[in-house]
Structure 1
Amino acid sequence: MYNYENSRENPAFEEALLIERLSNIKNKIVVLSGKGGVGKSTVAANLAMSLALSGFKTGLLDIDIHGPSIPTLLGLEDKKLQGTDSVIYPYTYGDSLKVISIGFLLANTDDPIIWRGPEKMGIIQRFIQGVEWGELDYLIVDCPPGTGDEPLSIIQTLDTVTGAVIVTTPQKLAISDVRKSVNFCKKLNVPVIGVIENMSGYICPDCNKTIEIFKSGGGETMAHEMNVPFLGKIPLDPNIVEAGDSGKPFVYFYAETPTGKIMENIINPIINYKNSEEKKTMRFAIPTANGKLCTHFGHCEVFTFIDVDPDSNIIIAKETITPPEHQPGILPPWIAEQGASIIIAGGMGERARVMFEEYNIKVVVGAQADEPEQLVKNYLNNNLLTGINTCDHGECAH
């Protein structure tokens, strides 16, 4: 039986072990929600099962400390954590799925987990570094809801995250919280694979008519407003409830139902999602005023951020964001938080250029006042016209 209290406390050993474990995992996807009760664990369980059914070696890590639902959803409520003082062994579910849950620690499923912060952080570290997953194509991580210490620690411990799937419901309260989840990902440079709107209408089992109980479309509208992909709507379906209560994965036992097809269409883009370093989206930042490049980037109205697919050099997304109140040195870290890798500016001081380089952001100065999309296209076609840096004086740190 794995003994958490007797586990190793050698920092150098634990760091080496963490690096070794994570190096065997090709893709790490976190499933997030702004609040509890939106169906996050149902999405995580069915995403992991879909990957496994597609032949991918998949791990499912349920680290929702105060509400571990995966054992119930997969019929594993009687399973206990197995391992030694230094290794945790996941439960093998079928041919290609391995599962670990906080719930496996509980002697009784009704027992609450009453831990303070340091204890939570310790078990998060242990569950990520201590599990002997072997080689995995995907690790799906069912995170605690919200944007607090726990999901932050999970993402930081995972180091490099392929992307996040964010689950919400149509209500205004849930949508407000999920905006925070999107911004949370942006600040941590975690790509948002997409937003799923769960409980979006009720399908009547008698007539198959959809009734909008909680309204519909709030998640989709929010995703478009925040320029992140929208993956689709999952309706309230009695079959989902039945599958969860009986421990039967919905995507396997109800694959041919209308909702099963909806879920398949939502999950397929996640399965096909790629985010390797070779195919990482290029993001440009352009200081903008009145729809064109602002010649002095430190005093612009907004920044236009443009995302480009590096394989095709096609613009795939654009958003405008108001920068923080002007003060020296504030823009480079802020632009880095937005995920930009290139900034095109008319003028910029030497100190600011050095700061951008420290954040691994390439600086192009001397660009002419033109529309942001045209500047990016010209840059990609190697015909961007640049002239004199309009702010080429060392004391400027805007």
Structure 2
Amino acid sequence: MGTSCGSRTCASHAEETQREEGGEDRRLKDQLRRIRHKLLVMSGKGGVGKSSVAAYLALGLSQRGHRVGLLDADLHGPSIPNILGISGMFQVDEEKNLVPHKLHENLEVVSIQCLLEDPDSAVIWRGPVKHGVIRQFVSEVQWGDLDYLVIDCPPGTGDEPLSVAQVIPDAHAVIVTTPQEVALSDVRKSINFCRKVHLPILGLVENMNGLVCPHCGESIPLFGSEGGKRTAERMNVPFLGSLPFEPSVVEAGDSGTPLLGNSDTPSSFLEKLDQLLSTVQERCSPPLPEEKTEETAYKDQKEVPPMEKESFKVAVPTANGLLCNHFGHCERFAVVRVQEGRIVSLEELTPPPHEPGVLPRWISELGVSLVIAGGMGQRAIGLFQERGVRVITGAPPLDPATLVNSYLQGTLVTGANVCDH
């Protein structure tokens, strides 16, 4: 009898735990649905001005009329409160949600530092605890409706960026570097990290591009020149823009008085920041395509509608980790499994020898229902269609995770079939 009672108690506890976890998942999904764009600001190396870039992205976007949240996910070395001049503990609402610090009408901020009575206290947490805190900073914060959530992560490819990629599957990475090679070698690791965890990359920002001489107005390349742009081209990621090394930005960060809204802000910094903000907005919200009928839109594939199936597989031909334009002669195939609108796995497979009809049969036997390709002959397209596999051609040469995520978000824009024969 005692055993039976104990079993019922354990079962009840398990059911209660499941209900609580289910409620947390619902709160998280509900909150994420109210945030239009999520930007994860990260870097492979410390000291590149990542937090300053995150702060000025949030400030600049909010001054353009967008509702913005800034989440400081650097749990061990939070610097956003110091940069923005924020102090004091968080308030809690009636539903026990944290109320963010309101910097001004369009910008709200959350940081672990605002939960510590002593800002100099060391946070000594392992991975699972940090994951839980980042999850709570999204689901249990009174964010409301946001146009942008900017997330400042610590340098490197550790627990925090991985947790953000898992908690916010539709986040896009903004990777910050300086022009010098020691930073660029680490940023290449960040790019590969994003590709491994299927985190789409919005683009690369080159900070500290040059010091503008206050006397002659010429730019002095303190840390080299255009290394970030070259790395973006080499790694096939978008280049968002550059920001100059500006001593007044450093002073403003130390004093907690950000430069935006200050009449003394150097014009060189404002001009570069304005260009960066415009590029970020453009990449987050691509221009609407020309008005077309459903038939013509599908025919020329200018805008690709996502599949409605809850679970399916996508195959992407690759070479050196990127989409290969020559479908029948690619090195490998990335087979990406999608479930409930997000990537859950990616497997690299070596295809069988290229012979007529072999690849369509092999891919369909893998359970694939969609192929994203750069180019494919009409005969091969017909063979796929006979097996119930849809084909999209004219895709850009990006990594498979970025292509599939763009497809899922309805933003995959394709061009001409580069192998239409």
After TM superposition, is the score higher than 0.5?
Answer: yes
Indicate yes or no: 2:64 matched with 1:54: yes
1:292 is displaced (CA, Å) by: 7.8
1:357 paired residue number: 368
1:252 paired residue number: 261
2:309 paired residue number: none
CA 1:9–1:66: 2 relative to 1, 3 Å = farther
Aligned counterparts of 1:238 and 1:17: Cα–Cα separation in 2: 42
1:293 paired residue number: 326
1:233 is displaced (CA, Å) by: 2.2
2:247 paired residue number: 238
1:29 aligns to what SS in structure 2? strand
CA 1:383–1:98: 2 relative to 1, 3 Å = closer
Aligned counterparts of 1:147 and 1:281: Cα–Cα separation in 2: 33
Aligned counterparts of 2:363 and 2:236: Cα–Cα separation in 1: 28
Aligned counterparts of 1:338 and 1:197: Cα–Cα separation in 2: 32
2:359 paired residue number: 348
Indicate yes or no: 2:130 matched with 1:97: no
1:190 paired residue number: 199
1:327 paired residue number: none
1:184 is displaced (CA, Å) by: 2.3
Indicate yes or no: 2:163 matched with 1:160: no
Aligned counterparts of 1:273 and 1:102: Cα–Cα separation in 2: 30
Indicate yes or no: 2:160 matched with 1:150: yes
Cα root mean square deviation, aligned: 3.7
2:155 aligns to what SS in structure 1? coil
> Which letter maps to 1:350?
R
1:222 paired residue number: 231
2:284 paired residue number: 274
Indicate yes or no: 2:77 matched with 1:67: yes
Aligned counterparts of 1:196 and 1:338: Cα–Cα separation in 2: 30
1:35 paired residue number: 45
1:211 is displaced (CA, Å) by: 2.1
In 2, are the aligned partners of 1:345 and 1:367 still within 8 Å (CA)? no
1:332 paired residue number: 335
In 2, are the aligned partners of 1:172 and 1:218 still within 8 Å (CA)? yes
1:333 is displaced (CA, Å) by: 4.4
Going by fraction, where is helix more abundant, 1 or 2? 2
Output the TM-score relative to the length of structure 1: 0.73
> Which letter maps to 2:158?
G
2:243 aligns to what SS in structure 1? strand
Aligned counterparts of 1:167 and 1:145: Cα–Cα separation in 2: 10
CA 1:380–1:261: 2 relative to 1, 3 Å = closer
In 2, are the aligned partners of 1:80 and 1:104 still within 8 Å (CA)? yes
CA 1:351–1:175: 2 relative to 1, 3 Å = same
Bigger mean CA deviation after superposition, 37-46 or 102-111: 102-111
Aligned counterparts of 2:379 and 2:30: Cα–Cα separation in 1: 49
In 1, are the aligned partners of 2:73 and 2:153 still within 8 Å (CA)? yes
2:138 aligns to what SS in structure 1? helix
Bigger mean CA deviation after superposition, 222-231 or 243-252: 243-252
Unaligned runs of 5+ in 1: 1-7, 303-322, 324-329, 370-374, 387-398
CA 1:212–1:383: 2 relative to 1, 3 Å = closer
1:305 paired residue number: none
Unaligned runs of 5+ in 2: 1-17, 290-301, 305-313, 338-342, 349-353, 381-392, 396-413
Aligned counterparts of 2:232 and 2:418: Cα–Cα separation in 1: 34
1:337 is displaced (CA, Å) by: 5.1
Aligned counterparts of 2:420 and 2:239: Cα–Cα separation in 1: 36
CA 1:361–1:156: 2 relative to 1, 3 Å = farther
In 1, are the aligned partners of 2:194 and 2:201 still within 8 Å (CA)? yes
1:52 is displaced (CA, Å) by: 0.9
> Which letter maps to 2:79?
S
1:208 aligns to what SS in structure 2? coil
1:187 is displaced (CA, Å) by: 3.1
In 2, are the aligned partners of 1:356 and 1:362 still within 8 Å (CA)? no
CA 1:166–1:337: 2 relative to 1, 3 Å = farther
In 1, are the aligned partners of 2:334 and 2:347 still within 8 Å (CA)? no
1:121 paired residue number: 131
Bigger mean CA deviation after superposition, 133-142 or 266-275: 266-275
Q: Percent identity?
A: 39
In 1, are the aligned partners of 2:178 and 2:209 still within 8 Å (CA)? yes
Bigger mean CA deviation after superposition, 262-271 or 53-62: 262-271
Indicate yes or no: 2:87 matched with 1:88: no
> Which letter maps to 1:357?
V
In 2, are the aligned partners of 1:251 and 1:263 still within 8 Å (CA)? no
